[in-house]
Chains A and B, each alone.
Chain A
Amino acid sequence: MMNKKGESDFGEILLDNTVYVILLAIFVFGIFAFVYQLKNGAVIWEDYYAKEVSKVLNFAEKGDNIEIDVQKASEIAGKNRVELSEMFSFKENDVCVKLSKIKKTCYVYFNDIKILSSKIKEGTPVNILSIQIGGKDE
């Protein structure tokens, strides 16, 4: 006579543990995503550069051409496989810095200016962020 009790027990065990496995997978993914964005200190340096650039932009006037040494940021972005052109972005009084794949860090500046252009000049010995400032009416 076939003992089917073992099969139903096995099915129950499997079902019970599936919940734990799914929870564990979500947990591991969440921890991995959290730790990944800390890789190479990307979050810290994003915060630093966002605030330093906003400080410079708050003092800027129409016609200014600002150049900032971003060699450290470039190195971190390179290690995290972020393109140089994606590192800095400007939109509606927000300066955003992206040094890791997952998220970027943004900071508001209150000076009412317009960013006409921004680009990274790859150079020796350091990479430079060059920002052209215009008036709000341009």
Chain B
Amino acid sequence: MNKNGKLGDQISFFYFLFLMIIIALGIAGGAYLFYGGEHDFREGESEILTYLVEECMKEKDVKWENFYEECGISKGAMEKGKIILKICKEQCGKEEVFVFGSNFEACEFKGVFSNKNYPKCSTRKTEVKGITYEIIAGSNNFARRQNE
């Protein structure tokens, strides 16, 4: 058996693999540049949530232990959509009446607005029966591609 040049054959395999990766990245990159990334709806979704919570608090006498049922919000959906919500009396940092999720500090970092990995937040202040409430909602909800 002629084993001369076997090493060259094996090296050309990696070159072939490298070439395919470059071509695949080129096609994927071109498609991304042409079509653009997905439409980022997270901030809008946070604003909708704060609006709906405000309306619920104004229309009903919300009991915080039954918040989900009274305001018609699905806890499971919020978990699935990585949505966070915090309601505080006067101002957050003083008295919290309802909290779902964590990492609310990310809503205050100015430098992370362009970072996709951080949630997009909305803050709303409202007055109900003479008491001021601050509502903070954040969404890290992305569309999911899945098979049937």
Contacts and interface: CB of A to CB of B under 8 A. Distances in A.
A-B interaction: yes
A47 B143 contact: yes
| Main secondary structure on B side of the interface with A | helix
Interface residues of B, number: 40
A35 B30 CA distance: 11
Nearest to A107: B143
B19 to A, nearest CB: 10
Contacts of A12: 1
A50 interface: yes
Interface string A23-41: 1100100110011001001
Interface in A98-138: 102-113, 136
A120 B17 CA distance: 47
19 contacts: A20-B13, A34-B27, A34-B31, A35-B31, A44-B35, A47-B143, A51-B39, A55-B41, A58-B45, A93-B74, A94-B80, A96-B146, A104-B146, A104-B147, A105-B144, A106-B146, A110-B49, A111-B74, A136-B72
Interface of A: 5, 8-9, 12, 16, 19-20, 23-24, 27, 30-31, 34-35, 38, 41, 43-44, 46-48, 50-51, 54-55, 58-59, 92-94, 96, 102-113, 136
